[in-house]
Amino acid sequence: MSKPTIRFRIDFDAAHSLGPGKVDLLERIRKTGSLSQAGRELKMSYRRAWLLLDSMNTSFREPVVSTSIGGKSGGGATLTEFGASLVDIYRELEKEFNASAVKRFSAAISAVNPAKSTSVVTHTPLVRSAAPRRVKAKVRGRA
């Protein structure tokens, strides 16, 4: 029987947050020493990884990652002491939340229907309008 898992985001204010995607990226940067390699391992484009890192570096007074420009000697990315502490605090809180969820949801955990566990859930993408659109074609007159 599997355990419930809590995924959460810390909102410091309306524009600054830290969640599982950003923490995963920081952990991969710590492991690989490279923003591009961290992004590849997370199946994330370099642009997306860079935007997430930039948002974290500008969210706090201290940077979470220091970077060096590539080239022959190769670039790199290193977690700062502050960045490492954010990851550690987030992961400690995650462990506490998950332990609490297991304890509090023990009755629900034992009531989970294992036959339904193998079903696949699909999500439909959000679209502006599901209504069909009519498009007028320009017709040039014949002489």
pLDDT number for residue 7: 92
pLDDT number for residue 23: 97
Tell me, yes or no, whether 126 lies in a domain.
no
Tell me, yes or no, whether 67 lies in a domain.
yes
Tell me, yes or no, whether 72 lies in a domain.
yes
What average pLDDT does the chain have?
84
116 pLDDT higher than 80: no
Tell me, yes or no, whether 95 lies in a domain.
yes
Tell me, yes or no, whether 90 lies in a domain.
yes
pTM for the full predicted model: 0.74
124 pLDDT higher than 60: no
- Domain carrying residue 83: 19-108
User: Structurally, how many domains does the chain consist of?
Assistant: 1
CATH of the domain at 102: 1.10.10.10
3-state secondary structure of 2: coil
Cross-strand bridge partners of residue 10:
18
pLDDT number for residue 123: 55
Position with higher pLDDT, 36 vs 139: 36
